[in-house]
Structure 1
């Protein structure tokens, strides 16, 4: 899932010559923020599962 999302972001945002550098930076920051939230939630779930096993 993440690879497809990154590829789409790259093609739609970073390769888009119609977007300014500022727009690209803003969109990259939004993607990074979303990814951090997703990763944080996944890490929390994995930690809970590990504690259940122990």
Structure 2
């Protein structure tokens, strides 16, 4: 999730990502690869997912 560049995050990014991860649960996957943030989200709508918090957030889904 990037704040700038060709594919920039917006206020719907987290909700869409949560929907996708929840839908993937129907496929009984053994693994889901998540990449950590490559940018500083300070002051953005994704600030709560900095560091390892993104992995913890999606683990519960």
Q: TM-score, normalised to structure 1's length?
A: 0.38
Q: Which structure is larger by alpha-carbon Rg, 1 or 2?
A: 1
> Higher relative CO (CA 8 A, sep ≥ 6), structure 1 or 2?
2
Q: TM-score, normalised to structure 2's length?
A: 0.36
